[in-house]
Amino acid sequence: MDTAKLTKTFSTILMVLGIITVIIIACLATIDAKQSYVIDDLNINYEIEGNEMNLEQYNTTNPVVAMEIENYGSIVIELYPQVAENTVNNFISLVKNGFYDNNTFHRLIPGFVLQGGDPNGQGNGGPGYHIKGEFTANNYQNNLKHTEGIISMARSNSYDSAGSQFFIMLGTAEHLDGQYAAFGKVIDGMDNIRYIAANERVANTESGKLANNLTIKKAIVDLKGNAYKEVEKITE
């Protein structure tokens, strides 16, 4: 083989090795970024007995709920009892009773919602009862808009069919305003939700069913020293 052919072959090998190196570095960078991201637990200690604790770092008189999502860290939700009183009472009750522990997020529509709270993990389950839909179309004044970070109750076509399933807004959806019971907002950890929306695979784009449900390892609530009524239930 002459020198020109050797030089060409060597150059080709170097080029291929260079491409492989770039690909490997990019993959490692992606892995490192994910590994460094998922440990963001907002310095919340979930290793407690029960589901109530003091979250003093969140300075509000409203109740605050923290959720630990497996592989994605924590989110913190401020609840608005002045907006949807019984809806908040219901959410607090479910958290205090450990209902959301090892529950899941099962539905994702990027730019729209991340939904969870179904014990069956499929979108058809609940706590065994319903609550009244606290939204304007159901003769209950609720002016909270469905913008990014807002948490609202999922339901079927029936206005009074919500139970335990909730969704977190990933954008603005004005058509939901007055039609669903918005009752709180993510006040910390929203970047974790955005990361989920950007990285998790949706198995069914029509329904939004996730390929793999995301586990809510534990949920805890800080009542900020206030007492809340028992939830008013509509039995199934």
pTM, full prediction? 0.83
Q: Do residue 21 and residue 79 come from a single domain? A: no
Tell me whether residue 82 is in a domain: yes
The single residue listed with the structure tokens 């991201």 is 37
What pLDDT is attached to residue 18?
Answer: 67
Q: Do residue 228 and residue 148 come from a single domain? A: yes
Comparing CA positions, the residue from 200, 148, 188 lying closest to residue 40 is 188
Tell me whether residue 54 is in a domain: no
What pLDDT is attached to residue 7?
Answer: 64
What pLDDT is attached to residue 29?
Answer: 56
Q: Do residue 110 and residue 226 come from a single domain? A: yes
Tell me whether residue 51 is in a domain: no
Q: Do residue 12 and residue 121 come from a single domain? A: no
Tokens, residue 196: 């989920």
Tell me whether residue 142 is in a domain: yes
Q: Do residue 138 and residue 191 come from a single domain? A: yes
What pLDDT is attached to residue 182?
Answer: 98
Total number of domains in the chain: 2
Question: Residue 16: which domain range?
Answer: 1-37
Tell me whether residue 55 is in a domain: no
Tell me whether residue 48 is in a domain: no
What pLDDT is attached to residue 95?
Answer: 98
Comparing CA positions, the residue from 225, 145, 204 lying closest to residue 180 is 145
Q: Do residue 24 and residue 96 come from a single domain? A: no
What pLDDT is attached to residue 19?
Answer: 76
Q: For the chain, list residues with pLDDT below 70.
A: 1-11, 14, 16, 18, 22, 25-40
What pLDDT is attached to residue 27?
Answer: 59
What pLDDT is attached to residue 10?
Answer: 61
Contact 142, 159 (CB under 8 A): no
CA distances in angstroms from 123 to 81, 105, 129, 162, 167, listed in the order given: 26, 9, 15, 12, 11
Tell me whether residue 49 is in a domain: no
Q: Do residue 153 and residue 198 come from a single domain? A: yes
CA angle at 231 for the pair 225 and 236, rounded to the nearest 5°: 160
